Chain A
């Protein structure tokens, strides 16, 4: 057993914290909420130069072959400052998916571009009536003489409008067995028949409805196994979930730090409000829940990196992180009072983000049911 970080990981964290505190002030976060692109291309370029976009990709594709835990450390720092960027969608949801399931050509074509910051990718999975259940997926891909025609609607696709490629999970066959009959296609954004509609959301992040109308995709753009793509999607979702947990833990930690700072300064009834036990206990409760959540996230991340079975650990991490982050922002609101409710304060940014993150990739109830399936069925 070893619960410590390596020297390299400590350096990575410190570098990331310094870099992001300079490059990602809250003014930038607010600006990106209004911005059409929703991320800063110049910052993206700098992230590529820092080596972050290739951190977990192997050297043969230009990356540096870091571990999944390294990535989690970086994501924790990104979550801390609420970095608006398609990092997690590009790297975790798509880059690692292609690395694991793609053929050599696909990997060569796309991974190099990702590492250099020349390609942004996203995953088109959810649908109007589907969250994360494979058997309900209805967007269809039907073979014709030139390839496959995709038709249907995908919802909550992050950064779809700027993505060079969408990885679209489609139904290609009957669901005779759980997760069967699904195939993922690499969809080039220049394909005709794609239509993007922005969704107005709580966190003012970039999520889109994507309509596929007779979108023709060549056969060589099939990612992974035909009719048997869910296995890879499932692993992708596990990685994406843990990545999200890391961002959530980073965000929660920052909210706690802000709150403690405020509680030390704010004087009411002749003393700092942080000296009052009711508020002290709220802060202590937050600290305890972050500690538990972070421990579970690290364990899940480690298991992913080691290639060990991890579905229970991933679900535990997400159920803890989901409850921790939302509760943290709510207790922080309570302690800040009116000032924290004002849009020019930083807290609303976290308050919005926490709820979005809680429901994204399954909330606590969803993951507890997954745990129950593993334990009881």
Chain B
């Protein structure tokens, strides 16, 4: 066992830190920053860091990916989980593992350059945690599929170019054997996007598909194998995002420590209150444990181990730690915690008010913790299924 980064990993981490410090100074956060920042990190080869070299990436392993996500989130880089993470862990990873040669050469270099983004089109009104209930169909006709149905919570369908869509290609077999994945261009005729605003302020639109014509070459991998691909890809998807979440928690934690050392409430420094000291210490412990879990999972990925158990365990710890974290942080800031961004005396610039709203998402997205606990019970511990 060895719990430190290798020299090379540490060098990589430091390079990101130096880069972020230089690019994200006070006053640099103008409206054009996301675009110029993305271009720069694409030039550095960081967007494609886990894409093989022959497709324009760097071919670096999972640990580098987590380091990248963690540090970018720590420095509040304007790219993180959504754009880069979702695109790479969905389209990028699926393409790499199951895509045709043509798909790999078409999409991977563009992902590596930061030119295209892809969201997820899995859920439907009747299919949440139980995705086997999806009703969207894709019927093959010559060298096209015709897709009809409705999708929920599609990441940025109004701005991303692509959606990775789950649809039924065989309705005569049990759902797990009749599902396929398609790379859909969101500008295709027949697609209607209805924005819905989430409590976090993000849009997670509904997407209606009415006789949408998709070229057969956009079928990802083999027909009717979509369910397998989906299950296999879940751990990567979770792990990617957790790197970013951990970085974000570390950052807020550092800010909170500073805040509690500087702020008096009722005449006493927060950092000298026994209760608050306990809370801060347990937040630090949660962050440390979460980091250990996500890096272990990344290490297991590099070794080719099965990730399903560790992914579920990590995911539950992650959700619960994150909820504990926002609760403790809000408690610590007292009345001030409710103040929004740009409300002048807001502690930590009002970050927590927004994060508290956003935190609720953890309780449901990518399968809620209750569902995952049942998975741990049956798959990892071998208990008989409840249904």
- Rounded to whole Å, the gap between the CB of B253 and the closest CB of chain A is 9
**A133 at the A/B interface (Cβ < 8 Å)?**
no
Residues of chain A within 8 A (CB-CB) of B196 are none
Q: Which of A302-328 contact B (CB under 8 A)?
A: 302-303, 312-313, 315-316, 319-320
A275 touches B280 (CB 8 A): no
Known: A1-B3, A280-B374, A284-B373. A299 touches B292 (CB 8 A): yes
A287 touches B299 (CB 8 A): no
**Bound: A291/B313 CA distance, A:** 8
**Bound: A365/B277 CA distance, A:** 10
Residues of chain A within 8 A (CB-CB) of B300 are 3
Q: Which of A63-105 contact B (CB under 8 A)?
A: 69
**Bound: A283/B383 CA distance, A:** 9
Q: Which of B1-48 contact A (CB under 8 A)?
A: 1-6, 9
- Of A161-169, A229-237, A366-374, the stretch lying at the interface with chain B is A366-374
Total interface residues on A, using CB and 8 Å? 48
B374 touches A316 (CB 8 A): no
**B381 at the A/B interface (Cβ < 8 Å)?**
yes
**Bound: A319/B289 CA distance, A:** 11
B374 touches A5 (CB 8 A): no
Main secondary structure, interface of A, reads helix
Residues of chain B within 8 A (CB-CB) of A271 are 384
Residues of chain B within 8 A (CB-CB) of A320 are 285, 289
**Bound: A313/B3 CA distance, A:** 12
**Bound: A370/B310 CA distance, A:** 30
* Chain B 208-237 per-residue mask, 1 if CB under 8 angstroms from chain A, else 0: 000000000000000000000000000000
Contact among B4, B274, B292, B314 for A296, CB-based, below 8 A: B292
Residues of chain B within 8 A (CB-CB) of A315 are 281
- Rounded to whole Å, the gap between the CB of B271 and the closest CB of chain A is 4
Residue of B at shortest CB range from A259? B381
**B278 at the A/B interface (Cβ < 8 Å)?**
yes
Known: A2-B2, A284-B376, A316-B284. A372 touches B277 (CB 8 A): yes
**B382 at the A/B interface (Cβ < 8 Å)?**
yes
Q: Which of B220-278 contact A (CB under 8 A)?
A: 257, 260-261, 271, 274, 277-278
**B344 at the A/B interface (Cβ < 8 Å)?**
no
**B380 at the A/B interface (Cβ < 8 Å)?**
yes
Known: A5-B1, A281-B370, A281-B373. A372 touches B381 (CB 8 A): no
**Bound: A339/B16 CA distance, A:** 57
Known: A1-B6, A5-B1. A376 touches B374 (CB 8 A): no
**B55 at the A/B interface (Cβ < 8 Å)?**
no
B384 touches A272 (CB 8 A): yes
- Rounded to whole Å, the gap between the CB of A270 and the closest CB of chain B is 12
Q: Which of B343-387 contact A (CB under 8 A)?
A: 370, 372-374, 376-378, 380-386
Residues of chain A within 8 A (CB-CB) of B277 are 368-369, 372, 376
Residues of chain A within 8 A (CB-CB) of B386 are 275-277, 280
Main secondary structure, interface of B, reads helix
**A260 at the A/B interface (Cβ < 8 Å)?**
yes
Contact among A264, A272, A295 for B296, CB-based, below 8 A: A295
Residue of A at shortest CB range from B67? A1
Residues of chain A within 8 A (CB-CB) of B288 are 296, 299, 313, 316
B317 touches A260 (CB 8 A): no
A280 touches B293 (CB 8 A): no
**A38 at the A/B interface (Cβ < 8 Å)?**
no
**Bound: A281/B295 CA distance, A:** 25
**Bound: A260/B365 CA distance, A:** 28
A275 touches B385 (CB 8 A): yes
A283 touches B381 (CB 8 A): yes
B4 touches A1 (CB 8 A): yes
B1 touches A295 (CB 8 A): no
**B303 at the A/B interface (Cβ < 8 Å)?**
yes
**Bound: A105/B303 CA distance, A:** 47
**Bound: A288/B1 CA distance, A:** 21
**Bound: A283/B282 CA distance, A:** 23
Residues of chain A within 8 A (CB-CB) of B4 are 1
**Bound: A128/B249 CA distance, A:** 41
A260 touches B293 (CB 8 A): no
- Rounded to whole Å, the gap between the CB of B285 and the closest CB of chain A is 5
- Rounded to whole Å, the gap between the CB of B309 and the closest CB of chain A is 9
B2 touches A292 (CB 8 A): no
**B181 at the A/B interface (Cβ < 8 Å)?**
no
**B49 at the A/B interface (Cβ < 8 Å)?**
no
Known: A284-B376, A376-B260. A371 touches B313 (CB 8 A): no
A1 touches B383 (CB 8 A): no
Contact among B6, B284, B296, B313 for A287, CB-based, below 8 A: B313
**Bound: A315/B288 CA distance, A:** 12
B299 touches A3 (CB 8 A): yes
**Bound: A275/B374 CA distance, A:** 9
A298 touches B378 (CB 8 A): no
**Bound: A377/B260 CA distance, A:** 11
**Bound: A316/B287 CA distance, A:** 10
**A106 at the A/B interface (Cβ < 8 Å)?**
no
The 5 closest A-B pairs by CB, nearest first: A280-B377, A368-B281, A372-B277, A284-B373, A371-B281
Known contacts A3-B295, A277-B377; can you find 9 more A-B pairs with CB under 8 A? A2-B1, A3-B299, A281-B373, A281-B374, A284-B374, A295-B289, A299-B3, A368-B277, A376-B271
What would 23 A/B residue contacts be, using CB atoms closer than 8 Å? A1-B2, A1-B295, A3-B299, A3-B300, A69-B1, A280-B377, A280-B378, A280-B386, A281-B373, A285-B373, A292-B289, A292-B293, A295-B292, A295-B293, A295-B296, A299-B288, A302-B3, A313-B288, A368-B282, A369-B274, A369-B278, A371-B281, A376-B260
